[in-house]
Structure 1
């Protein structure tokens, strides 16, 4: 928590380290009681795991966030929250890398339960043929088409695989709303 952080000297995730996890360089930027100060590497008690740990999901979607005015960044995160799903959205040209992770963890995407080959796709289903230890199997995945959500928007799932594609377990095989090829897509590129 933020209260627990006050008693630590924290190095950012971007701090250079060697193969054994030792910090390189003598003086590094650290976070102490919310302030950025230079400290000796021997005084560091904690290190961030990821540079996106400091901000929420919506803020981590803003490219070059550290160079933005705080008020504009806050306005951008609020605008993302208000986005409605488009019929055809585009993945961002400039992204932060977190878009795929958000789409992967989304409840709107359909992921393959087991590895196999896409056998058949129709308007409402995807069929994947796989080889088990004892026998072959076919996994069927139902697509949700044009459902009404509580916010009066459309929920639609679209296949992103083709017949004959090999898929791995956990791979996204159908996009949900606000997705483009397995990536979060909140709008159109113009």
Structure 2
């Protein structure tokens, strides 16, 4: 029996040692987890700080670029205004001779320059005419020959380019001597 008691004692010692060892492992794992969490937090904070710093550094550069672009845009606008003024000075001088000085109509400044507005209107008109011609051509092909246009986008581009070239020539040779974009951009300014 002595041997059995000794074996039990050894087993109990071994079990106690195992328990202590497991507890130590758990403690070490917990400590390592805490360290990992802390390092992750620190890394996140450092990344956030770096992002903030880079954003702060980019903001002055962007604002400097924006200021330069704004200055360039204002210079371009001033040059356009001067050229428009020189063009309209002759018209105004002839208008002033015929009209009273007391009328004094003020012009409103447009957010979109006249040339850009006329280009947009002319492009939209050209696109509408091209689309109408394309569908008309497709309808004629379908009714007379039983064929159709397979690539509508490609054909639209071809028709659009043809109309884009012919539209200003035809409009300037007509009674108005202006394209629709030029007419509407002038009337919105009050120069017509």
TM-score scaled to structure 2, two decimals? 0.23
TM-score scaled to structure 1, two decimals? 0.23
Higher strand share: 1
- From the CA coordinates, give the structure whose radius of gyration is larger: 2
Higher helix share: 2
